[in-house]
Amino acid sequence: MPCTSKNVLNSYKIRDMLKGKIALVTGGSRGLGKAIVETYIRHSCKVAFTWTNSRTEAETICDLYGDIVTSFQADALEYDRAVQVVNETINKFGIIDILVCNVGGASDRPIYEIDYDSFDKSVRMTLYSCFNYIRAIANHMKSNKKGTIISVGSINGLRGREGNVGYCAGKAGLVGLIKTVAKEMGEFGVNVNLVAPGYIDVDSQKATNELIKQLVLDECAIRRLAKPSEIADVICFLGSDMAKNITGQTIVVDCGQSI
């Protein structure tokens, strides 16, 4: 997008609306999660984020940004640990204004091949990882009568994809979870939304076969692959007061891949 004066003014407006807010991002050390963390920091937020195995990447982010960022090693499938992370973030920064649930994963096969454990693991990674942090933070935002919850879903939770039955089931479950939580938390001034990206051109996709990438491009109305920073911009906007009237929605950001 060209850098017009209007775009610059809108960027400053979002920054002004986010300045001083506290964001908690799960899975924030690499890929899309890192882009989300850095985008909120760039808009004058303080950020806490979780990581599981990528200690070096997490420490690099913390060293770069200093006291305005903190990180926690945490398995998103452990509810008690989610409660600890929420409480420790509040102890450090005083409040959590924005929660971004970005953890997900899959160990999938087609329905006629997948075993119970693989299906269970995929659903838990994509659905329970989000539930755990929303449940852990719900009473905090309820008491403060404000807050924003954003979950990262997938277009494949809306349309399905062969060979990913557990992942797609979990991502589809997020749609119902987010809509219900939006209804339940709305009276307390809390916005709850889902961002559903298509294929994202992240480092972890570098090994993806070029034929697969071309098939993705052929699906896209806009013939390009979305960058992590572009998805993060939408998530950043949803965390601002500019989006205060948006709740219970699934925002598809996929270059038209799913239409």
pLDDT band at 91 (very low <50, low <70, confident <90, very high): very high
Burial 89-100 (b: 16+ CB within 10 A, else e): bbeebeebbbbb
pLDDT band at 225 (very low <50, low <70, confident <90, very high): confident
- The answer for residues whose C-beta is within 8 angstroms of residue 76's C-beta and 6 or more apart is 26, 27, 50, 52, 82, 103, 125, 128, 129, 132, 133
Whole-Å CA distances, 12 to 8, 98, 236, 240, 250:
6, 19, 13, 12, 25
Q: What's the rounded Cα separation, in Å, for the pair 153 and 101?
A: 9
pLDDT band at 114 (very low <50, low <70, confident <90, very high): very high
Kindly list the structural domains of the chain, giving each domain's residue range(s) and its CATH number in brackets, ordered by start: 10-252 (3.40.50.720)
pTM for this predicted structure: 0.90
Residues involved in catalysis: 167
- The answer for residues whose C-beta is within 8 angstroms of residue 222's C-beta and 6 or more apart is 255, 256
Structure tokens at 218: 């052929």
Average pLDDT (232-245) is: 95
Average pLDDT (184-191) is: 98
Does the structure show a pLDDT above 70 at 136? yes
Average pLDDT (200-220) is: 77
Does the structure show a pLDDT above 90 at 216? no
**Bridge partners (DSSP) listed for residue 197:** 253
34-88 confidence digits (pLDDT tens): 999 999 999 999 999 999 999 999 999 999 999 999 999 999 999 999 999 999 9
Q: What's the rounded Cα separation, in Å, for the pair 134 and 185?
A: 11
188-199 confidence digits (pLDDT tens): 999 999 999 998
pLDDT score, position 12 = 57
Sheet holding 147-152, edge to edge: 69-73, 46-51, 22-25, 98-101, 147-152, 190-197, 250-253
pLDDT score, position 10 = 57
pLDDT band at 100 (very low <50, low <70, confident <90, very high): very high
